[in-house]
Amino acid sequence: MDEQKLRSQGWFGRKGKDGFIYRAWMKKQGIPAHAFDGRPIIGICNTWSELTPCNSHFRELAEHVKRGVYEAGGYPVEFPVLSLGETLMKPTAMLFRNLASMDVEEAIRANPLDGVVLLCGCDKTTPSLVMGACSVDLPTIVVSGGPMLTGRHRGKRISTSDIWRFSEAQRAGHMDDMEMTLAEAGMCRSDGHCAVMGTASTMACMVEALGISLPGNAAIPAPDAARKIIAQQSGSEIVKMVKADRKLSDILTPAAFENAIMVNAAIGGSTNFVIHLLAIAGRIGVPLALEDLDRLSASIPLIANLQPSGSYFMEDLYYAGGLPAIINKLLPQLHKECIGANGRTVAENFGTADCYDPDIITSTDKPFSTMSGVIVLKGNLCEQGAVIKPSAASAQLMKHTGKAVVFEDIEDYNARIDDPALEVDETSLLVLKNVGPKGYPGMPEVGNMGLPAKLLAKGVTDMIRISDGRMSGTGFGTVVLHVAPEAAEGGTLAIVRSGDEITLDVRGRLLHLHVSDEEIAARKKALPPAQPIAARGYVRLYQSHVQGAHLGADLDFLRGGSGSEVTRDSH
Ligand code: FES
Ligand code: MG
């Protein structure tokens, strides 16, 4: 083994009572003495849970990681952390992202680990694990669970993005309960996370573009044998990373973040990318602002034809060459010298990747769209910014002035949206308040709120929607999200009234409320006192400390890291 003494030897290499205790209880699991001889101890941080259906295959996936760890001369130990299931958790899994990150951080630091493999899948399980791991900064690699196989319904390929269409079809009276039940049965056909470029796939692409997974990790479908193989390879790689002492901070440089932003623009990634990347940058100590995401996206066209921005599914992306084929096409724009988990540069890792289907991955000179990535809006309605994903929006609404139809909160929206008497037409802008980080709390994915039933019946398919909430990565439409400051913090959003005029100008990066500064100030003065925060528990901690969406919605005291050192013993 290496000359250098590994961190785990601070436990297992000890003599006397402490070393006895550290080893003896591990040996009760059938672990032989040679596991403690100074070889790398690799933690496998597992988000397996039957309440996180997207990650339900992770116990098996972990076994393949272990093979790789053994093969390379390390010893694997698997441990569970809080797993966030996007589909079930109320009021929103996002409320618990920061809590899960605390679990991950403390579990890694407190234990005799030299390196960590993060098993990530469903939306929040990637950012929460990466955030927590960044605050410890050991050698760390991500293995994603992979997307599901594409769904099927009546001979058509379906996936999560269709849920929004089904729901509108049902509300417009075009789809009955029986049809919905049939579609439900065909939606999720296999292990894995959502099969489009939703948030889970966006996060898998983010870690690959950042360099903290092996190349090719993002797109391999969960049931594909290649998924098991990359898990094993990642198990071997983490042992090498420990020996090379290649930590997250060695990989997650400012240039790596810039690469990830450019790749996200090219793939039409989820708007949730913004909030999670800002939070990760905050943990690893890389300065990154909302405006950087806009600036770096601006030069990158959309070259992946994937739902919800395009037509295809993650499975198709894999057969077309996966993310490596996309990164290959972007090499002239990317920082090619960045080092990935395997110690190789971006140029080395992606320089020879081929594209097998130009319908799915095109080149930057023949893009599917030049409006890509995330555009950051500013204006008196969002002094600290708001975002819109132009590739998911309607061209005719990109510059529009109209009257606001305001909903004070989600209950108000649910109560009135289908009221035939609601004063609304297709030129209106739907405004939803109090769905921000602090206000909801947890910033749920309700920003792409459904259109009024009477307009759906008329055939309207898109309207401008504005809120301080988020949108599912599988969602689409001309949807302005993450308005900051949020309504619950007394942002201008809080004082918008139905009938006020609002201008959205996406190319001009403007979101303007046509109300005078004096009137805005007067209305703010007249606002009722803020809603009290939760009386106790994690939600109280969250509401007391959560930062705005423009900073990544992390808790203020979680920014940065505390390293991996623990100076005091337990017994
Ligand atoms: Fe888990 Fe979509 S619900 S990834
Ligand atoms: Mg989601």
Regarding the beta carbon of 193 and ligand 1, being less than 6 Å apart is answered yes
Q: What is the pLDDT of residue 160?
A: 86
| Number of other residues whose CB lies within 10 A of the CB of residue 25 | 10
- Ligand 2 centroid to Cα of residue 89, in Å, is 11
pLDDT in the model for residue 17:
95
Residue 160 Cα to ligand 2 midpoint, Å, equals 10
Using alpha carbons, select from 314, 33, 74, 76 the residue that is nearest to residue 193: 314
Model pLDDT for residues 16-60, shown as the tens digit of each residue:
999 999 999 999 999 999 999 999 999 999 999 999 999 999 999
Which residue numbers in the chain have pLDDT < 70?
1-3
User: 293 C-alpha vs ligand 2 centroid, how far in Å?
Assistant: 20
- Select from 379, 400, 395, 386 the least CA-distant residue to 511: 379
pLDDT tens figures, 148-167 = 999 999 999 999 889 988 98
Atom 2 in ligand 1: residue holding the nearest Cα: 194
Pocket test for ligand 1, best of 47, 48, 87 (most atoms within 8 A of CB): 87
What is the SS3 assignment for 461? Answer: coil
ipTM of the complex: 0.93
Starting from the CA of residue 147, give the closest ligand. 1
Ligand 1 pocket test, candidate residues 158, 162, 194, most atoms within 8 A of CB: 194
- Helices (H) then strands (E): counts for the chain: 20, 14
Q: Which residue has the tokens 């690893």?
A: 284
Establish whether residue 194 lines the binding site of ligand 1, counting it when its CB lies within 6 angstroms of any ligand atom. Answer: yes
Regarding the beta carbon of 465 and ligand 1, being less than 6 Å apart is answered no
The pLDDT assigned to 3 comes to 53
Residue minimizing CA distance to atom 1 of ligand 1? 122
Q: Alpha-carbon distance 122 to 85, whole Å?
A: 7
**Residue 124 near ligand 1, beta carbon < 6 Å:** no
**Nearest to residue 381, comparing CAs of 519, 486, 531, 252?**
486
Cβ of 84 below 6 Å from ligand 1: no
Q: How far is the CA of 473 from the centre of ligand 2 (A)?
A: 6
List beta partners, residue 46.
Answer: 80, 119
Domains of the chain: 39-150+189-350 (3.40.50.2300), 375-535+542-549 (3.50.30.80)
- CB of 294 closer than 8 Å to CB of 305: no
Interval between CA 124 and ligand 1 midpoint (Å):
9
Cβ atoms of 225 and 231 closer than 8 Å: no
Assess contact for 55 and 47: CB atoms under 8 A: yes
Regarding the beta carbon of 200 and ligand 1, being less than 6 Å apart is answered yes
DSSP string, 189-248: -SSSB-SSSSHHHHHHHHHHHHTSB-TTTTTS-TTSHHHHHHHHHHHHHHHHHHHHT--H
Q: What is the distance in A from the centroid of ligand 2 to the CA of 27?
A: 41
CB 429 within 8 A of CB 407: no
Q: What spacing in Å lies between the alpha carbon of 194 and ligand 1's midpoint? A: 5
502 CA to middle of ligand 2, Å?
28
pTM of the model: 0.97
Please say whether the dihedral angle defined by the alpha carbons of residues 62, 64, 67 and 68, taken in this order, is positive or negative. negative
Give me the pLDDT at residue 555, please: 98
Written as one string, the DSSP assignment of 39-54 is: PPEEEEEE---TTSGG
123: Cβ below 6 Å to ligand 1?
yes
Residue 196 Cα to ligand 1 midpoint, Å, equals 10
Question: Is the CB of 334 inside a 6 Å radius of any atom of ligand 1?
Answer: no
Q: Which ligand is nearest to the CA of 473?
A: 2
Residue 78 in contact with ligand 1 by CB distance below 6 A: no
Beta partners for residue 375, in sequence order: 388
Q: CA dist 488 to 21, 320, 368, 530, Å?
A: 51, 45, 38, 7
Is the beta carbon of 222 within 6 A of some atom in ligand 1? no
Query: For residue 87, which atom of ligand 1 is closest to its CA?
Result: 3
Residue 160 Cα: closest atom of ligand 1: 2
- Cα of 122 from ligand 1 centre, angstroms: 5
Q: Give yes or no for residue 394 CB within 6 A of ligand 1.
A: no
Q: Closest by alpha carbon to 326, among 305, 312, 309?
A: 305
Ligand 1 in reach of 191 Cβ (< 6 A): no
474 CA → ligand 2 middle, Å: 7
Q: How far apart are CA 105 and CA 99, in angstroms?
A: 10
Q: Is 552 in the pocket of ligand 1 (CB under 6 A)?
A: no
